[in-house]
Amino acid sequence: MADLRIETADGVGTVTLDRPDALNALTVPLKEELVATFRAFASDDAVRAIVLTGAGRAFCAGQDLHERLQPDAQPLADEIRARYNPLIRAMRALPKPIVAAVNGVAAGAGASLAFACDIRIAAEDASFLLAFGRVGLIPDSGATWLLPRLIGGAKAAELALTTDPLNAADAERLGLVARVVPTADLLPQAHALAERLAAAAPVALALTKEALERSWTASFEEQLELEADFQGRAGSTADHAEGIAAFIERRRPTFRGE
């Protein structure tokens, strides 16, 4: 896995895009490694939360534009169906929370990757850039669906149509990032958050992520019923009993995902 670093500790899987000289631009092998990694995390009990970040001064500059010029490059629609969409689906379907530690520019499909995470923390010099239009393309990898839902349609349209960058402070004001931190604090803070999530009740976390996801396309009535169903499932876990016992006994719960 030359261009992807994966480290696991304290229940957290850290995924680092590792092509700093190309601002972590996405190549075919890198996209394939990423989708395989997120799929593998789904059944890896040692990983209960994930941090996604980039090496060097950027989070990810999107599609590697040099690769796109190679004679054997896939037609765009085929590439999106074969690699980008499966990657975004794997992230959204992963029953574990993903924290994006956005350490610099997130451009093109790199911005889409950040949008597909569950929580974003940004370094002070981070930015989001829907660069697609600058090379005559449209926002893809879920950006046209995710961004309006994250920040509202009006601002999403402005960013997509103008391709103006959104800086970290404005991203926080819009609610796109949970918080902005000094660059040196980014990974420690992202890991601290992920470790908290890794210590939470896994079944409840997975069902919460799925319920939030399903809410985008459900009616209110459908969502009420889904909550009842999911709550029945969460309530039947040993972790629910452990949570109540820990409350009564005034101690920290130990959740095992059972």
Pick the binder of ligand T3D from 66, 81, 179, 196 (CB under 6 A).
Answer: 66
DSSP state of 22: G
The Cα 20–Cα 199 span in angstroms is 32
If the CB atoms of residues 46 and 161 are measured against ligand T3D, the closer one turns out to be 161
3 interacts with ligand T3D by CB under 6 A: no
DSSP state of 201: -
244 interacts with ligand T3D by CB under 6 A: no
106 interacts with ligand T3D by CB under 6 A: no
Pick the binder of ligand T3D from 12, 51, 55, 61 (CB under 6 A).
Answer: 61
Q: Which residues pair with 232 in a beta bridge?
A: none
If the CB atoms of residues 11 and 104 are measured against ligand T3D, the closer one turns out to be 104
DSSP state of 96: S
The Cα 195–Cα 49 span in angstroms is 7
Backbone angles phi, psi at 214, to 5 degrees: -70, -25
The Cα 185–Cα 168 span in angstroms is 15
In the region spanning residues 125 to 154, those forming contacts with ligand T3D, defined by CB under 6 A, are 129, 131-132, 134-135, 137, 140
The answer to whether 108 and 58 have CB atoms below 8 angstroms apart is: no
If the CB atoms of residues 33 and 239 are measured against ligand T3D, the closer one turns out to be 33
Q: Which stretch binds ligand T3D (CB under 6 A): 19-27, 34-42, 182-190, 239-247?
A: 19-27
11 interacts with ligand T3D by CB under 6 A: no
